[in-house]
Amino acid sequence: MSSQEENDGLGGIIDGKAIAAEIRAEIRNDVSSLSSVIPGLATVLVGERKDSATYVRMKIKACSECGMESIHRALPADATEGDIIAVVRALNEDACVHGILVQLPLPDGINEENVLSEISIEKDVDGFHPLNIGKLAMRGREPLFAPCTPRGCIELLKRSGVEISGKEAVVVGRSNIVGLPVSLLLMHENATVTITHSRTVDLASVVRRADIVVAAVGRTEMVKADWLKPGCVVIDVGMNSKPDSTRKSGYRLVGDVDFEGCRKKASLVTPVPGGVGPMTIAMLLRNCADAAMKCEKSAAQ
Residues that bind ligand NAG (CB under 6 A): 165, 189-190
Residue in the shown chain whose Cβ atom is closest to ligand NAG: 190
Taking the CA of residue 16 as centre, how many other CA atoms within 13 Å lie in the half-sphere pointing to its CB? 25
Q: Which residues pair with 242 in a beta bridge?
A: 252
User: Kind of pairing, strands 192-196 and 168-172?
Assistant: parallel
Tell me whether residue 187 or residue 206 sits nearer to ligand NAG (CB atom).
187
- Enumerate long-range contacts of 132-139, CB under 8 Å, 24 or more apart: 133/176, 133/181, 136/181, 136/184, 136/185, 136/188, 137/184
Residue 180 beta carbon to ligand NAG: minimum distance, rounded to whole angstroms: 19
Q: Is 158 a catalytic residue?
A: no
- Which CB, 165 or 245, lies closer to ligand NAG? 165
User: Distance (Å, rounded) from C-alpha 38 to C-alpha 40?
Assistant: 6
Residue 150: CB minimum distance to ligand NAG, A: 15
Our answer to whether residue 8 is catalytic in this structure is no
Minimum CB distance to ligand NAG, residue 179 (Å)? 21
Q: Compare residues 166 and 231 and give the one whose CB is closer to ligand NAG.
A: 166
> Of 59, 123, 135, 265, which is the active-site residue?
59
Q: Using only C-alpha atoms, what is the Rg of the chain? A: 20
Residue closer to ligand NAG by CB (options 84, 186) is: 186
301 is catalytic: no
Q: Which listed residue (103, 236, 256, 290) is catalytic? A: 103
Cβ closer to ligand NAG: 113 or 163?
A: 163
Beta carbon of residue 267, minimum distance to ligand NAG (angstroms, whole number): 21
State the nearest-atom distance from the C-beta of 140 to ligand NAG, in Å. 10
Catalytic residue among 15, 123, 124, 126: 126
DSSP H helices, the chain, are: 3-6, 16-32, 50-65, 81-93, 112-118, 130-136, 148-159, 179-188, 203-207, 259-263, 277-300
Q: How far apart are CA 4 and CA 231, in angstroms?
A: 10
Q: Evaluate whether 33 touches 6 at the Cβ level (below 8 Å).
A: no
Which active-site residues does the annotation give? 59, 103, 126
